[in-house]
Chains A and B, each alone.
Chain A
Amino acid sequence: MSSDLTTEDTIYVTYIAVAPEQVWRALTESQFTARYFFGRSVESDWKQGSKWLLRMPDGREDIVGVVRECDPPRRLVLTWNIAWAPGQFPECVVTYDIEQAFDGVVRLTMTEAHPTPIAKGLLEGGRKGWPMILSGLKSLLETGNALNVPTPMPPKELQP
């Protein structure tokens, strides 16, 4: 793993031919996330300052954080920590922005920010995972079918 530290953001964009409210539900309801987010169920009451989490199919907590901003159906800002390695990795901040791009089409932007420098090697997981997650979300909303992709495993030293 590279020991180079970085604060580079990752920004991924996808266009989805549905209403903004549907994208919002897909991000905040577990019946949707379980189908495109590598089987993870999202949980929160979606109030600013509340805890939110992603639960693995076997019931363990995977990602936990705090809801920083919640403005349905436009903007959701979440802090992001690995639940099974508390304090080992710097917290990152994930922002979803949902905009009406043109008639009937929504532009979903996911920004992963790193306020604390993070090892470049640790970004690789997200760089592989996010495009699959966002393509899966688009596919699920537009066709009713999620992509059937295997869950990529984190680097060995990071596995739960």
Chain B
Amino acid sequence: MDAVFRALADRNRRRLLDRLHARNGQTLNALCDEMGMTRQAVAKHLGILEAANLIAVQWRGREKLHFINPVPINEIAERWIGKFERGRLQALTDLKKQLEEK
């Protein structure tokens, strides 16, 4: 669990997860676009996310594809969010979303 929090503590790593959430299964090259950092730096961030099990990788021929894996985040949520809180939190999240969209 420490590894998950450490991995999520960095803005660039959260951005990489956002980009995989928008389009899953991307290569390192594709993920380097618009990140404004070296390929090595992006590869290092991806390595940290993979070690925390927040990214799953799969080889397709010679291409290494990266997929977002939200299961550890769900496990963290389950630890502190019980079945009764879930509905209320969902209502608050929906409300926040609605207000922000206006």
Contacts and interface: CB of A to CB of B under 8 A. Distances in A.
Of the four ranges (under 10, 10 to 19, 20 to 34, 35 or more), the interface on chain B belongs to 10 to 19
Given A149-B86, A150-B83, A11 B69 contact: yes
Of the four ranges (under 10, 10 to 19, 20 to 34, 35 or more), the interface on chain A belongs to 20 to 34
A127 B20 CA distance: 13
A8 interface: yes
A131 B74 contact: yes
A135 B58 contact: no
A111 B70 CA distance: 13
Main secondary structure on A side of the interface with B: mixed
Interface in A1-20: 8-15
A135 B75 contact: yes
A82 interface: no
B56 A13 contact: yes
Interface of A: 8-15, 109, 111, 127, 130-132, 134-135, 138-139, 147-150
